[in-house]
Amino acid sequence: MSQWTVETSDATKVVQNGNTFLIANGYLGYRGTLEEMSAKDFVAVNLLGVYDKHGDAWREPVNAPDPLHLTLSVNGEQLTDETPKLAHRQWLDLKAAVHHRQTTFELGGVQVTLTTERFASAADEHLLAGKVSVQVDRPAEVVIDHAIDPKVWDLNGPHFVDEKPITDGILLTTGEGDLVAVTQRVDALQWRSSGTRLSTEAKPGVTYTYTVQALVYTSLDVPAERLVSTITQGLHETDYQDQLAEHKATWAKRWDRSNVQITGDNDADLALRYSLYQLQSIAPHHLDLSIPARGLSGQTYKGAFFWDTEMFMLPFFLRTDPEVARRLLNYRINTLPQALKKAQHYGYQGAFYAWESQADGRDATSDYNVTDVFTGRPMRTYFKDKQIHISAAVAMALWSSYQLTGDVRLLTDGGLQVLIECAKFYYSRSYWSPLKHRFELLDVLGPDEYHERVNNNAYTNRAALATVQAALEGVVVVAKADPERLKEIQQQVDWGTWQARLSDYVVDLYIPEPDADGVIPQFDGYRDLENVFVPAVRDRLLKPNEYWGGAYGVASDTQVIKQADVVLLLKQFQNDYTTEQKLLNWQYYEPRTEHGSTLSASTYALVACEIGKADWAYPFFMQSATVDLTGKSKQFAGGVYIGGTHPAANGGAWMDVVQGFCGLQEVDGRPTVASHLPSHWQSVSFKVCVRGRWYQAQVTQDTATIQPM
**Residue ranges that bind ligand BGC, judged by CB under 6 A:** 293, 301, 306-308, 447, 449, 562-563, 597, 599, 648
Which residue number, 125 or 448, has a Cβ lying nearer to ligand BGC? 448
CA distance 172 to 218: 9
* 587-591 CB contacts, 8 Å cutoff, 24+ apart: 588/519, 589/522, 589/561, 589/564, 589/565, 591/533, 591/534
Q: Tell me the closest approach of the beta carbon of residue 577 to ligand BGC, in angstroms.
A: 22
Q: Tell me the closest approach of the beta carbon of residue 642 to ligand BGC, in angstroms.
A: 7
Q: Tell me the closest approach of the beta carbon of residue 55 to ligand BGC, in angstroms.
A: 25
Which residue number, 307 or 577, has a Cβ lying nearer to ligand BGC? 307
The 3 state secondary structure assigned to 437-498 is CEEECCCECCCCCCCCCECCCHHHHHHHHHHHHHHHHHHHHHHHHCHHHHHHHHHHHCHHHH
* DSSP label of 679: T
Contact 674, 650 (CB under 8 A): no
Which residue number, 335 or 563, has a Cβ lying nearer to ligand BGC? 563
Residues whose CB is less than 8 angstroms from the CB of residue 44 and which lie 6 or more positions away in sequence, other chains included:
18, 29, 30, 31, 63, 66, 152, 153, 297, 298, 299
Q: Tell me the closest approach of the beta carbon of residue 165 to ligand BGC, in angstroms.
A: 39
Contact 634, 627 (CB under 8 A): no
Which residue number, 98 or 534, has a Cβ lying nearer to ligand BGC? 534
Q: Tell me the closest approach of the beta carbon of residue 301 to ligand BGC, in angstroms.
A: 6
Could you tell me which residues are beta bridge partners of residue 212? Answer: 130, 186
CA distance 332 to 631: 31
Following DSSP, what letter does each residue of 391-412 receive, concatenated? Answer: HHHHHHHHHHHHHHH--THHII
Q: Tell me the closest approach of the beta carbon of residue 547 to ligand BGC, in angstroms.
A: 11
Is residue 621 packed enough to be buried (19+ CB in 10 Å), middle (13-18) or exposed (0-12)?
buried
> In the annotation, is 36 catalytic?
no
Which residue number, 30 or 312, has a Cβ lying nearer to ligand BGC? 312
Phi-psi region of 589 (alpha: psi -120 to 50; beta: other; left: phi over 0): alpha
Catalytic residue among 125, 421, 449, 452: 449
Following DSSP, what letter does each residue of 154-175 receive, concatenated? Answer: -SS---EEEEEEETTEEEEEET
Residues whose CB is less than 8 angstroms from the CB of residue 604 and which lie 6 or more positions away in sequence, other chains included:
564, 567, 586, 590, 593, 595, 617, 620
Residue positions annotated with a catalytic role: 449
